[in-house]
A and B are shown apart, each in its own frame.
Chain A
Amino acid sequence: MEEVVNNVFVLSEVDLDDLKERLENSQEIILRSTPDQLEQAITQLYLPTGDYTLGLLYLLSVKCILEFDPTVFIQQVTGFISSANSVQLRKAPAKFRLLCEKYTDICCQENPIIAIKPLSEAIWKIGNPTGNLLTPQHWMLLKSAILAKCYHAVVPHLKHSVYNIENTLTNVESKDVRLFYYYGGIIFLSQKEFRNAVEFFRNVISSPALVTSVIMIEAYKKYVLASLIINSTTTQVPRYASNGLIRHVRSLCSPYEEFATSYRTNSLEDLSKCLENHSEEFVKDGNFGLAKQVLESLARENIARLTKTYLTLSIEDIATQAGLLDGHLIERVLSMIQKGQVFAKINELDGMISFHESTEKYNSTTTLQYLDKQIHETIGLYEQLTTIDNEIAFSNEYIHKILRSDRGGSRSWSGMDEDDYNSSLAMSMSGM
């Protein structure tokens, strides 16, 4: 053990790769040391400047496998992360990941709010300062936030347009990505930002997949409910999702499919009956609250539809046509007017509600600014896509594949003629 600590002291300034090798080889020794020796080593290596980050990392990660005192562990890891040195951390991202996972687990059992700040720091230490490199720590942060009910702290992380993924730097795995989007979707749901939630869940269910994972199934269930709330036209699995998912969805998520079909009939009665029938399933999945929100959304949609057909309508007529049987009609309409979903005036004397056209004229500066921002963002995205497309088209693998299929006798389609082939081969040779 002494040797290990000495190695760390000596090599941390000098040669990190060598140190890493030695640490890898010394894992047995660390495992066999006594708890006291381990604690001593840790205290020795802990420095606020983080000079011995790599060594400390290995020691702490070994601790994960052994028995230990949770409070001490939490303290140590918190301190470790805040003092850690990014360069050294990046030498062993896998270990860091393990450590953070264990840390999150423990914190979530004790007091999740502790984990939030350290994990945010961890993200930008192992990722990059702008935070758009997706790391395993992202989902750990989100999970802690959800359990601590402390959503506002993490919302900035969700608002990035696109995340880059670099496996080697951050040791992020496919499961991490799915978990990130799943938890992100849940946070959006809690903030009632349903459109963003739907986007995130859709990302989960359309992950490239050879088999279907439980995360995807759960995400699909929430995806259906959230889509119904924003009344989008489809709750289908996207075409580019894996086929296996579609099959499994049919067998595992049938209550949700039924719920969606009954929503489409626009009948509140049918929908509430369906909700009652499947309430057990919904509660078991933790989606009952969401399902109730779907019911509300149907009521609002029915009212909104009436505004397109009628200029004025009596309150009883609205109630019967929209299928709203309870007496909260006026409050509902009032809240819809306030949120800007409907433009109307309530005449309590006559018992009539008169609907108006939308007053949005799209002729203000806000519209202009919004348009401008959207245009820029769209151009940026389009450029990204074109770059990716070019990279693929000029890559060796793709060209060889085209050649092979051509030679394979499919003469009916030749993707490129002589000139294209020559130029693209030339470009790929010149190292594009």
Chain B
Amino acid sequence: LKMQHEQREGSEIELIQPSLSWDLGDRVSEYHGFAKIQRLLFIAERCPSVSDDAYRIAIDELKQTQHTAIYRKVFDIVQDRLGAPHVIDTTWADGVDKKSQNTHERLEIELQGFKANLVRSKIRTGLNELGHFYRATGDFNNALRNFIRTQDYCISTDHSVEMCMNIIKVSIEMGNFGHVRSYVTKAEQAIEDDPVILAQLKATDGLANLCTHKYKLAAEKFVLTGPELAGNMDILTCREVAVYGGLCALAEFNRGELKRNVLENVNFKQFLELVPRVNQIIVDFYNCQYASCLESFESLKNDLKLDIYLHEHIEGIYEKVRNKALVQYFSPYTSIDLGNMAEAFQTDVSGLEKELAKLIVGGQISARIDSHNKRLYARETDVRCQTFEEALSVGEEFQLNARSMVLRVNLIRNNMWVTPKKEKGRKKR
């Protein structure tokens, strides 16, 4: 079963063992419908210990929906091993398919009728119904097409906002995050003052940024999400907003931004209270308790790898946070003993040396390693000398280019081009 955002075809799926405090029921109970099924199947693929349970819950949920294609695929994987009552109920599946077909025909005919009579508002509702129908049966491309078509028939801002929200939700389910961002912008321009919709927009915008690796933007959007999101969003829960927002903020915000936007942000604090472990990580980092911060982060990593949107990004985020911690740790010192630092970061001295070397080469720490005495020395750059060096090199570069330019102008003025040889029969290529 291929999930929409699992784009790496041939790569192996990493099997993960979650920590003891991770519970399948907790994780999926807040969702329903397609969102729940998506997550259950994702977890089932990756976590062998709860895979059977996950499939069972998924099958129960599938029976409440019209996603017969997914239903059949699940049974391809699972066959009979789950035992009764979780065996394939083909009569149900066929029945649902037949009903879907009928509904489809009916809606199409109705829509044709509306179009013939050119009743704008009816056409809009007809297209929307078709869109919702396609979405319910898992045909996201058609759903998207129909929703986009309603744009021509939208009269009021409410209509436009409704259209945008529909498109955004379908795009997320498809994994097409480019669409999400553009329609979020559209909706934000159209909306007047609906806090629920605003919160939904911010959350989805943040999600789109996260999935396209723009962590800083994601963090900015997530921390602006209002608490009105609670209970009003079937794609993203408050808990997810808290986790994603908190971790992205930790990875990308500097100290000032972290303080202002996260720790002192009343709205976002409400979100963070839902995930005390992430909250603790952020607070630890801010208070420079790097050992405990990184330790809790490590232990949380496995659980986070079972999250459908975060799993691709968690290693990257962890590395960023760790690098930030290293840089922040060293910033008040002129020199520091590598042994002490290694202990604080729970690694050995040679490993730490390698990490630091990478940071120095990357320009994030201005320091030098004394490998003999195992110390790290801060390095002041002499700005004056640097300026001289740069000025001289820019000057030389200019002269080089100017001379070449004058030469070329002279050549062109004297009409001296490279031309094919005329005398011999052989032409130069």
Residues of A at the B interface (CB closer than 8 Å) are 161-167, 172-174, 177-178, 199, 202-203, 206-214, 216, 240, 242, 248, 305, 308-314, 317, 350, 352, 354-355, 357-358, 360-362, 367, 370-371, 374-375, 377-378, 381-382, 384-385, 388
B13 within 8 A of A: no
With both beta carbons as reference points, the residue of chain A lying nearest to B377 in the complex is identified as A311
What are the residues of chain B within 8 A of A377 when measuring CB–CB?
A: 399
Whether A208 touches B417, Cβ cut-off 8 Å, given contacts A161-B403, A311-B377, A382-B402, is yes
Cα distance, A312 to B353, chains bound together (Å): 13
What are the residues of chain B within 8 A of A367 when measuring CB–CB?
A: 388
- Are B368 and A384 in touch, CB under 8 angstroms? no
Cα distance, A370 to B399, chains bound together (Å): 14
- Are B398 and A378 in touch, CB under 8 angstroms? yes
- Are A310 and B407 in touch, CB under 8 angstroms? no
Cα distance, A371 to B388, chains bound together (Å): 10
Whether A362 touches B384, Cβ cut-off 8 Å, given contacts A214-B428, A312-B371, A378-B399, is yes
Whether A384 touches B395, Cβ cut-off 8 Å, given contacts A209-B418, A362-B385, is no
- Are B395 and A374 in touch, CB under 8 angstroms? yes
Closest 10 pairs between A and B when the two form their complex, measured CB to CB: A174-B416, A209-B418, A381-B402, A311-B370, A312-B372, A362-B388, A311-B368, A165-B410, A167-B414, A313-B371
Instruction: Fill in one digit per residue for B356-400: 1 if any A CB lies within 8 Å of its CB, else 0.
Output: 010011000000111111000100001011001000100110111
- Are A352 and B399 in touch, CB under 8 angstroms? no
Cα distance, A212 to B427, chains bound together (Å): 11
Q: Which of B372, B409, B417 has the most CB of A within 10 A?
A: B372
Using a CB-CB cutoff of 8 Å, which residues 284-312 of chain B contact chain A? none
With both beta carbons as reference points, the residue of chain A lying nearest to B382 in the complex is identified as A357
- Are B369 and A381 in touch, CB under 8 angstroms? no
What are the residues of chain A within 8 A of B384 when measuring CB–CB?
A: 362
- Are A314 and B418 in touch, CB under 8 angstroms? no
**A to B CB contacts below 8 Å, 10 in the list:** A163-B410, A167-B414, A167-B415, A172-B416, A211-B427, A212-B429, A311-B371, A311-B377, A370-B392, A378-B398
What are the residues of chain A within 8 A of B407 when measuring CB–CB?
A: 162-163, 177, 203
What are the residues of chain B within 8 A of A370 when measuring CB–CB?
A: 392
Using a CB-CB cutoff of 8 Å, which residues 137-181 of chain B contact chain A? none
- Are A314 and B416 in touch, CB under 8 angstroms? no
Q: How far is the CB of A269 from chain B (nearest CB, A)?
A: 19
Cα distance, A212 to B372, chains bound together (Å): 56
What are the residues of chain A within 8 A of B416 when measuring CB–CB?
A: 165, 167, 172-174, 177, 208
- Are B408 and A240 in touch, CB under 8 angstroms? yes
Cα distance, A362 to B382, chains bound together (Å): 11
Q: How far is the CB of B263 from chain A (nearest CB, A)?
A: 35
Cα distance, A65 to B370, chains bound together (Å): 73
B411 within 8 A of A: yes
B346 within 8 A of A: no
- Are B419 and A352 in touch, CB under 8 angstroms? no
Residues of B at the A interface (CB closer than 8 Å) are 357, 360-361, 368-373, 377, 382, 384-385, 388, 392, 395-396, 398-400, 402-412, 414-420, 427-429
Q: How far is the CB of B397 from chain A (nearest CB, A)?
A: 11
14 further A-B pairs in the complex, CB-CB below 8 A; given A240-B408, A305-B361, A310-B368:
A163-B407, A174-B417, A206-B404, A207-B408, A207-B417, A208-B408, A210-B419, A311-B368, A311-B370, A313-B371, A357-B382, A362-B384, A371-B392, A385-B402
Cα distance, A203 to B416, chains bound together (Å): 14
With both beta carbons as reference points, the residue of chain B lying nearest to A216 in the complex is identified as B418
With both beta carbons as reference points, the residue of chain B lying nearest to A361 in the complex is identified as B385
Cα distance, A208 to B416, chains bound together (Å): 8
- Are B400 and A208 in touch, CB under 8 angstroms? no
Cα distance, A388 to B412, chains bound together (Å): 12
- Are B420 and A208 in touch, CB under 8 angstroms? no
Q: How far is the CB of A263 from chain B (nearest CB, A)?
A: 18
Cα distance, A173 to B411, chains bound together (Å): 9
Cα distance, A344 to B418, chains bound together (Å): 50
Cα distance, A312 to B335, chains bound together (Å): 14
- Are B369 and A384 in touch, CB under 8 angstroms? no
What are the residues of chain B within 8 A of A161 when measuring CB–CB?
A: 403
Cα distance, A172 to B399, chains bound together (Å): 25
Q: Which of A208, A209, A308, A358 contacts B360 (CB 8 A)?
A: A308
Q: Which of A208, A214, A360, A388 contacts B406 (CB 8 A)?
A: A388
What are the residues of chain A within 8 A of B388 when measuring CB–CB?
A: 362, 367
What are the residues of chain B within 8 A of A371 when measuring CB–CB?
A: 392
- Are B402 and A208 in touch, CB under 8 angstroms? no
Cα distance, A370 to B408, chains bound together (Å): 27
Q: Which of B398, B406, B418 contacts A210 (CB 8 A)?
A: B418
- Are B420 and A210 in touch, CB under 8 angstroms? yes
Cα distance, A165 to B417, chains bound together (Å): 13
- Are A309 and B417 in touch, CB under 8 angstroms? no
What are the residues of chain A within 8 A of B429 when measuring CB–CB?
A: 211-212, 248
Cα distance, A4 to B32, chains bound together (Å): 110
What are the residues of chain B within 8 A of A163 when measuring CB–CB?
A: 407, 410
Cα distance, A163 to B407, chains bound together (Å): 7
Whether A317 touches B428, Cβ cut-off 8 Å, given contacts A177-B411, A309-B357, is no
- Are A314 and B403 in touch, CB under 8 angstroms? no
- Are B402 and A352 in touch, CB under 8 angstroms? no
Q: Which of B357, B385, B414 has the most CB of A within 10 A?
A: B414
With both beta carbons as reference points, the residue of chain B lying nearest to A387 in the complex is identified as B406
Whether A206 touches B408, Cβ cut-off 8 Å, given contacts A309-B368, A361-B385, A362-B385, is yes
Q: How far is the CB of A278 from chain B (nearest CB, A)?
A: 22
What are the residues of chain A within 8 A of B357 when measuring CB–CB?
A: 309-310
Cα distance, A313 to B417, chains bound together (Å): 55
With both beta carbons as reference points, the residue of chain A lying nearest to B375 in the complex is identified as A311
What are the residues of chain A within 8 A of B405 when measuring CB–CB?
A: 385
Cα distance, A431 to B357, chains bound together (Å): 65
With both beta carbons as reference points, the residue of chain A lying nearest to B369 in the complex is identified as A310
With both beta carbons as reference points, the residue of chain B lying nearest to A238 in the complex is identified as B404
Cα distance, A240 to B428, chains bound together (Å): 21
Q: How far is the CB of B203 from chain A (nearest CB, A)?
A: 42
Q: Which of B382, B400, B414, B419 contacts A199 (CB 8 A)?
A: B400
Q: How far is the CB of B410 from chain A (nearest CB, A)?
A: 4
Q: How far is the CB of B385 from chain A (nearest CB, A)?
A: 6
What are the residues of chain B within 8 A of A374 when measuring CB–CB?
A: 392, 395-396, 399
Whether A166 touches B414, Cβ cut-off 8 Å, given contacts A310-B371, A312-B370, A352-B372, is yes
